[in-house]
Each structure stands twice: as C-alpha cells, then as structure tokens.
Amino acid sequence: MSTDPDPRLRHVSPAFRTFCGEDALAALPRELARVGARRAVIVCGPSVTKHADALSRVHEALGEHLVGQFDGVAEHSPIPVVERARQFLADHDAEAVIAVGGGSAVVTARAAAILLAERRDVWQLCTRRAADGKLVSPRLTAPKLPQWVVPTTPTTAYAKAGSAVRDPQTGERLALYDPKTRAQGVLLDPAMALTAPARLTWSAALNVFAMAVEGLQSRHIDPLADAQLAHALRMSVAWLPQLRTDPEGSRPRLHLMLAALMSGQGSDHTGGGLAQALSHAVGPRSSAANGVVEALLLPHAMRFNAGVVGHRIAMLADVLGLTDRSAQAVIGKIERLLEVFEVPARLRDVGVLEQDLVEAADHALDDWAITSGPRVPDRVDALALLTNAW
C-alpha cells in the first residue's frame, strides 16, 4: 500500500478557446462579438507582412472589425517598440488586439495593452526585488483589452499572463505580470503556420520541449499539469524531427503548436525553470533564438537539480520510455534527443562571449522563472553553470 499523502492542490484553468484547422479564422468575428468588441487592431512584425496572401486571411476574417495594423514588432520586445504599439492602440481606439506572429508579437501585444491601461512607466509596473530580497510583481488593476493569438510559430506564450520586455540601453529584461492580459484564445491556421521559416519553427519548438521537461521537474506537484506537460513532451519528440523531413508541411507545425499550448498551460501551474531563466539572460547576447539557448542549457540545469528531483526524474523516464529511471539515464536521453534535434552543444557555438557570462548570471537571478525551480541557484551557482555550458 502506498504511503504517499493525499494530493493537495489548487488548479484553476482560465477560460481559453482553441481553434485549429482550415476554418479556424472563421471564429474571429464570433469571438469579438462574444466580448462586445467592434474595433480590432493587429499587432505583428515585418516578417508577417511579407506574406500578404496568408495575412489577408486574417484581414478577411476580421472584415469591418479591423481598424489598424501595427507591424513594428521586433525580437525580444524592446521597450521603445512596445511604447509605439501602445500609442498605436490608443490612436485607433482599439477594443481588441489580435497578435499575429511568434512569441515577440504575443508579448508586445500584451505589454502594450498593459501600458495603455495602466498609464504608468514600465519601470513602475515591472517585477522588482523588494527590500527583503524577494521578487515582487505589482498588482495591475486597470481593465485590459481582450486579446487573441494567430500564431506563426509554436510558442508557449499563447497561454501566458506574463510579458517580458527588454531595455535596449541596459540589456535588462523587465517582467510584467497581469492575468487580465491572458489571451481569450488561439486560432491555429495552416496558412499562417507555413509563413515562418522552418528554422524559426524549429527554434521555437525547442522552447516547447525544454519547458515541458523543466515543468515535469517542478517542486509544485500537480497531476493535471503533469498530464499536459507529459503529452507536450511526447508530441515535441515525435514532431520536431518531422520539421526536417517535411519542412513545407503544415501538419508538423500545427501539432507542435498544440504541444506549445499544452506546455504553456501546464507550466503555468508548475512554473518555469532554471534553463528558461538563464536563456532569458543569455539569449539576447547570442546569435541564436532563445529556444535554442534554452535547450542547450537544459542538461546543465538538470544536473544542477538532479539531487532534489529524484521522484520527478523517474516520471520523466516513464514519459520518455526508459527502463533506467536514474538521473544519469534521463539526462543522457535528453542529450541524445538534442543531438537529433541538431542543437548546438556549447554557448560559444552560438556566439556568446565569455566576458558576457557574469552579467548574464546577474540578470538571470532577477528572472521570475528562476524562483519556481526545484533548486534556486545563487550567483556563484549560476555563473558556474553558464561557464560549464560555455
């Protein structure tokens, strides 16, 4: 008979609608009507506007509801870009926001909605360290514009309530958290899924994979979230290699987008992890996308955590189909999968300079994701891990 205690958890699933397939975009007018929104603004980047035929599908679905398109989204959501998006929403009297693109479009749209509603400087709204050393997110009370996501890549950002913007002057990453900016839903359109280069879809899917692995090692035990994360991991392992064998097919991309949704929703309950926090700090200092850096750092983070996540490692072994449930076997399997996924092995291979590691370690310690890992590193730990990965 098991001696484990009865499960104790609080699992709240926010309302979220998922539409996938050739007719997914037809739901947009109904979704706007459901919340009483008439004036919608698209937030996207230049890479999306190059695909006029695919983007016209979104325009046609919105019809007279479309009142403007902000197409200045940039990688890592720099603060000046977010400010311009905020002003665009204000100038067009937006009543709803449609984020079209990848993670940067989703985050820029959310952050712009926060700045529009709160009418304060981003530095007054972001997560900061309090006098006692703890990270604190201020309560953001103003109502926010409803949002929907029409993605071009698989990103866990679909399901999140947080937004991280980058100060281009200091390189610092500022986190904004507001559950009211969580998207109403996602519309997975095959034509839009095919607009992203296969390499970009690949790098985004690596984030999905890494977040699922880290979520399954969390100290927050939630069987409902574990189910989402486990299947997200299975789908990532199954469909990531097919991006190489079927680069022009929509099927692998849509399956990876569904995996991204599950990985994002599951990790909402378990929290992020060490590889995620470190990649947020290292990514902008590299020549690779954050998903690549996060996957590269994953085995290093797993070794750091191995001593305190034995029972979770065993579950990961089961999900990965391993009979050997030791940490060494599981981490070895993850490393072999990363080789199959063609992930670079060292930070120096993606353009990270050794002199940047100290600043990256400092920035990582102020990342909210680092607080939810099973073992929280100090500055020495973080720098040692990055140096080993370099």
Rounded to an integer, what distance in angstroms lies between the CA atom of residue 87 and that of residue 343?
Answer: 39
On whether both 158 and 259 belong to a single domain, the answer is no
Per the CB < 8 A criterion, the answer to whether 104 and 46 are in contact is no
- CA atoms 16, 21, 27, 28: torsion sign: positive
Q: Please return the burial class of 312, using the count of CB atoms within 10 Å of its CB with bins 0-12, 13-18 and 19+.
A: buried
What's CA 49's distance to the chain center, in Å? 22
Rounded to an integer, what distance in angstroms lies between the CA atom of residue 267 and that of residue 212?
Answer: 7
On whether both 220 and 183 belong to a single domain, the answer is no
pLDDT of residue 5: 62
pLDDT of residue 256: 98
DSSP annotation of 24 reads: G
On whether both 261 and 299 belong to a single domain, the answer is yes
pLDDT of residue 350: 93
DSSP annotation of 161 reads: S
Residue 381 forms part of a structural domain:
yes
Rounded to an integer, what distance in angstroms lies between the CA atom of residue 114 and that of residue 163?
Answer: 9
On whether both 216 and 326 belong to a single domain, the answer is yes
Residue found under tokens 């060292």? 346
On whether both 84 and 230 belong to a single domain, the answer is no
On whether both 43 and 172 belong to a single domain, the answer is yes
Q: Look at residues 162, 192, 222 and tell me which one is the last residue of a structural domain.
A: 192
On whether both 167 and 221 belong to a single domain, the answer is no
**Strand 147-151 relative to strand 96-101, pairing:** parallel
On whether both 167 and 51 belong to a single domain, the answer is yes
Domain that holds residue 370: 197-389
Going from the C-alpha of 160 to that of each of 149, 175, 178, 179, 289, the distances in angstroms are 11, 12, 9, 8, 19
Q: Specify the DSSP element, H or E, that contains 43.
A: strand 40-43
CATH of the domain at 151: 3.40.50.1970
On whether both 299 and 351 belong to a single domain, the answer is yes
Shortest CA distance to 193 belongs to which of 11, 58, 10, 328? 58
On whether both 144 and 256 belong to a single domain, the answer is no
Shortest CA distance to 11 belongs to which of 316, 309, 226, 260? 226
On whether both 153 and 246 belong to a single domain, the answer is no
Show pLDDT as tens, one digit a residue, over the chain (390 residues). 445 567 778 888 888 999 999 999 999 999 999 999 999 999 999 999 999 999 999 999 999 999 999 999 998 899 999 999 999 999 999 999 999 999 999 999 999 999 999 999 899 998 887 777 777 888 999 999 999 999 999 999 988 998 889 988 888 888 899 999 999 999 999 999 999 999 999 999 999 999 999 999 988 888 999 999 999 999 999 999 999 999 999 999 999 999 999 999 999 888 778 999 899 888 888 988 889 999 999 999 999 999 898 889 999 999 999 999 999 999 999 999 999 999 999 999 999 999 999 999 988 888 777 777 788 899 999 999 999 999
Residue 32 forms part of a structural domain:
yes
Q: Look at residues 128, 159, 192 and tell me which one is the last residue of a structural domain.
A: 192
Shortest CA distance to 155 belongs to which of 101, 191, 112, 110? 101
